[in-house]
Amino acid sequence: MISILVVSHSRPLAEAAAALASEMVPAEDGLRIGVAAGIDTPDGPAYGTDAAAVAQAITTYDSPEGVLVLMDIGSSVLSAQLALEFLEEEEIADRVLLCSAPLVEGLLAAAVAAAGGATLERAAAQARAGLFAKQYQVADVSTSDADPAPAGATRNRPPASDDDPWTTCEVEVTSPVGLHLRPVGRIVALVLEHEAEVRVSNLDTGQGPLPADSLADMLSLAADCGHRLRFEARGPRADDVLDAIAALAGTGFGDS
Amino acid sequence: MMSAVPDPVAGTPATLGVPDLTTWLRRYAAEIVAHEQELTDLDAAIGDGDHGANMTRGMTAVVAVLDQTPFETLDALAKKVGMTLVSSVGGASGPLYGTFWLRFAKPLSGLARTDAATLGLALRAGVEGIQQRGKAEGGDKTMLDAFLPALAAYDAAVDAGAEPTAALRDAATAGRAGCAATVTMVARKGRASYLGERSAGHQDPGATSAALLLECAVS
């Protein structure tokens, strides 16, 4: 499993973001999220970033599948790039990926993808698509400005044959707060566990079908309480994954 | 001291050695402290107002290193300065000035003293490092607007046969002029770029600390 490193000017910000992301995935999945944020000064902790500390943290959180680095702005990016330069002669540098995703949105999406076994590139694509979901929900960006293909190009699941038939199930969103972040995280995790290709449509808004293994796409469904969702799956374990989704829906997607 | 008088170690005035670079850095630290408020005010006008405090913290840490550790070669000294800035400055000037000194070190590998031409290679490597790290160009209202004209002036002086002291003096003059020219520029990089047109009318704090660095090599 890949690990994730959060680089920020603010240590409390990074630690809180990492804690929030950890809430999105089961602890037993063993996802490791590290923090390299703030600097230590003679007067105590201060805002800022330290490229040497980032390099050290990359080494600490190294995994065979790689380390995804999410950053806030300015010197966080410069320090992360310099940290990679420090490591450039070591093998580890080949499996570190700096991701341009917005820190919080990207981290949540990356955590779910990583815990589901996503590759470095796929987790990064999911993280970048984190912004797309919010753009869709807030609707303050014209569609042409928003990322048109959030994550579809980079999935690492073996593709189902186009000739495979789709199996369908329909469920209702029963939680009063709609299909929010954590239930969506649970659905995406379920889908990633199975080898089936799954897509989902919101029958009440007409949105979709969208890939159900993408946190960003799932959030962009904007499914409110009472909305009916159609999940369609194909591939060897299509029935299994739809059964699992139906069972999850029966618990209010884990909220009840 | 830049070697205006013959240096007994080098046997020639036309070089810059570890003691010269040490003096340069100590002078710069003192000037940064003396200009901390000015740098902070410049940064408060178009950035986040921490450049003075960040640079003071960084150069204070550098002086502590100079007090503790003797250095035998220019590259060992420059490398240590770079790593110290990287870990102590905090803001974007940490990785930028850190990169400057780390790249500056490379052409000076193993040297206790350098001639004007090799020093020019070190300066160029440092400035190109900043350029690469910050992805900025001349005219973007950044420290490069002091460094790039300074580099050109340095190279022109060396081509005309100048020794390090004279070439650095030309570089410092060009760097100060380049810094002054940032007043009318509109920022295209860094926090100041968020202000757009409103960034014009203010001298860039990064260019100011860069001009100071060049001046401290000679004055």
For B165-216, write each residue's pLDDT tens digit: 999 999 999 999 999 999 999 998 887 888 888 889 999 999 999 999 999 9
A3-138 CATH fold: Rossmann fold (3.40.50)
d(CA A81, CA A66): 16
Q: How many CB pairs under 8 A join A and B?
A: 57
Residue ranges of E strands in chain B: 15-17, 113-115
Q: Which residues of B touch A51 (CB under 8 A)?
A: 86-87, 94-95, 98
Tell whether pTM > 0.90.
no
Q: Which amino acid belongs to residue B160?
A: A
| Angle at A131 (CA atoms; ends A12, A102), nearest 5 degrees | 35
**What is the predicted pLDDT for the residue at B11?**
41
**Mean pLDDT in residue range A199-203:** 94
Q: Give me A236's structure tokens.
A: 């060897």
Distance from the B160 Cα atom to the nearest Cα atom in chain A, whole angstroms: 36
- Tell me the percentage of chain B whose pLDDT exceeds 70: 94
Distance from the B194 Cα atom to the nearest Cα atom in chain A, whole angstroms: 12
Contact B90 A53 (CB under 8 A): no
Q: Which residues of B touch A41 (CB under 8 A)?
A: 57, 88, 90
Contacts of B140 (CB under 8 A, 6+ apart): B185, B187, B188, B189
Indicate the length of chain B as a whole number.
219
Peptide bond into A209 cis (omega under 30): yes
- Of B88, B100, B142, B189, which to mutate for an interface test with A (greatest number of A Cβ within 10 Å)? B88
Active-site choice (A9, A180, A194, A227): A9
Residue A180 appears among annotated catalytic residues:
no
Contact B90 A74 (CB under 8 A): no
Residue with tokens 């042409």: A144
Contact A41 B90 (CB under 8 A): yes
Contact A75 B92 (CB under 8 A): yes
ipTM of the complex in this document: 0.84
A160-250 CATH fold: Histidine-containing Protein; Chain: A; (3.30.1340)
Domain ranges (residues) in chain A: 3-138, 160-250
Q: Which residues of A touch B101 (CB under 8 A)?
A: none
Distance from the A117 Cα atom to the nearest Cα atom in chain B, whole angstroms: 33
Q: Give me A146's structure tokens.
A: 């928003």
Q: Is residue B50 over pLDDT 50? A: yes
Who among A41, A74, A82 is closest to B86 (CB)?
A82
Pick the most confident of A84-93, A217-226, B65-74. Answer: B65-74
d(CA A194, CA A209): 19
Strand order in the sheet with A210-211: A167-172, A228-234, A197-202, A210-211
Q: Which amino acid belongs to residue A179?
A: L
Q: Up-side HSE of residue B64: CA atoms within 13 Å toward CB? A: 10
d(CA A5, CA A17): 11
**Mean pLDDT in residue range A42-62:** 95
Structural contact between residues A221 and A156, judged by C-beta atoms closer than 8 angstroms: no
Residue ranges of E strands in A144-196: 167-172
SS3 B162: coil
Q: Which residues of A touch B50 (CB under 8 A)?
A: 47
Distance of CA A197 to the CA centre of its chain: 18
Q: Spell out a b/e string for B90-108, using b for 16 or more CB atoms within 10 Å of the CB, else e.
A: bbbbbbbbbbbbbbbbebb
B16-216: which CATH number, 3.90.180.10, 1.10.1740.10, 1.25.40.340, 3.30.70.2470?
1.25.40.340
Structural contact between residues A68 and A124, judged by C-beta atoms closer than 8 angstroms: yes
Which pairing describes strands A228-234 and A167-172: parallel, antiparallel, or unpaired?
Answer: antiparallel
Domain ranges (residues) in chain B: 16-216
d(CA A218, CA A40): 40
Structural contact between residues A67 and A5, judged by C-beta atoms closer than 8 angstroms: yes
Instruction: Give pLDDT tens digits for A141-164.
Output: 654 444 444 444 334 445 556 778
Q: Give me A97's structure tokens.
A: 């990926």
**What is the predicted pLDDT for the residue at A155?**
43
Contact B87 A39 (CB under 8 A): yes
